[in-house]
Amino acid sequence: MTETVVSELWTELKRFVNTVDRAEAAETVVAVLIDHDSDVEDIRNAFKGDGDIKRALTSYLDNDNNYEDEEDIEEEAEEDYLEDDWEN
């Protein structure tokens, strides 16, 4: 639901943001949503049709050093931790 509310706010407020500043504003919106644990798919669904957010999300994911790989690394680290417990 958070993504939907933010999408409505973005839609209403972006007309007040200068065109040259919209990319940076969209990047900020995406970063805040991600920082508050919004799922990438939920953001995509809430903002479908908005090119500024789509580009910002793509840029964020490209700069996030393989977004999906990080999730895999976290799972592997947890598995290693659990295996270490059994070795003692």
Residue 50 to residues 8, 40, 43: CA-CA distances in angstroms? 11, 15, 11
Q: How many H-runs (helices) and E-runs (strands) does the chain carry?
A: 5, 0
Chain segment 4-30, per-residue pLDDT in tens: 999 999 999 999 999 999 999 999 999
Position 70 scores a pLDDT of 54
Domain containing 13: what range? Answer: 2-87
Chain segment 52-72, per-residue pLDDT in tens: 999 999 999 998 865 555 555
Q: How many domains does the chain have?
A: 1
